[in-house]
Structure 1
């Protein structure tokens, strides 16, 4: 009688098994490894391969984490004066010479003085300051982001910046999202 009460109120998709059914399931689970060792090994390997390469969400799959990468002809990060919703240079830099250098790079429209608007490229890219580099060590030094969280934080930072500069429906955001998820640009 108590068991029937639990069956009546159990959530959809869940069933409460009687003690007899539980014993039968336990016996079956104890026998199956002995009878199907080869099949079991193949099944486990197959499941492992599917879950590690899958990028969809579900009970048996693992979400593929995005991998940060710079997208050509974006330049959102070169907009140095981003406004009050972003940390100010004073909040980011501890070293006064870094703060001074950063402020000296801000042009009249808020863009870096080395940003070529016609090509959306940096004219000093190879020699740009360390704080213009999106790298694990730099993120740890400037923002306290652990290296294991670099990809997630760098991607999130770029998404926020691109949305603020170009908009949430922009081609730049589309290109970035395709790039970090390993999909070809469309």
Structure 2
């Protein structure tokens, strides 16, 4: 495996619908949970996500829970920073599959980028 990195033109992680992420309160403080909910638009997508360009409008100042760093993995999720790549790959697969589908072009592109098995290939 080549290791995790964000794949452009995906945005699956920007689909924030709380009903699809039932464990938010387990790792977000009350303040971060309020912030999270304030970012959710009526359609479940982050209000800062540009759907036509599939980019984040606040990328440089996005909240910690939108970042994939060893510190966030440790401090927010209680995971070992050494597991960052495997953890992120797993999370991305789940989000991509739930938003775009397991056979989607986004999932195939992600697998090509991280060196995983390309679905349907």
**Both structures adopt the same fold (TM-score exceeding 0.5):** yes
Q: How does 1:168-179 map to 2 (within 5 A)?
A: 168-179=102-113
Q: Which residue of 2 aligns with 1:83?
A: 19
**Structure with the higher helix share, 1 or 2:** 1
Q: CA deviation at 1:164?
A: 0.5
Q: How does 1:28-177 map to 2 (within 5 A)?
A: 65-81=1-17, 83-84=19-20, 86-93=21-28, 95-177=29-111
Root-mean-square deviation over aligned CA pairs: 1.6
| Native 8 Å contact 1:162 1:173 kept in 2 | yes
CA deviation string 1:103-156 (max 9, x = no partner): 100000000000001100001111111110011211122221101111111101
| Native 8 Å contact 1:66 1:151 kept in 2 | no
Q: Distance in 1 between matches of 2:2 and 2:95?
A: 17
**Secondary structure in 2 matching 1:145:** coil
CA deviation string 1:154-181 (max 9, x = no partner): 1011001100000010000011111112
Flag the structure with more relative contact order, 1 or 2, with Cα contacts below 8 A and sequence separation at least 6.
2
Unmatched segments (≥5 aa) in structure 1: 1-64
Structure 1 runs of 4+ aligned residues shifted over 3 Å read: none
| Native 8 Å contact 1:66 1:152 kept in 2 | no
Q: Normalising by the residue count of structure 2, what TM-score does the alignment of the two structures yield? A: 0.88
Aligned residues: 116
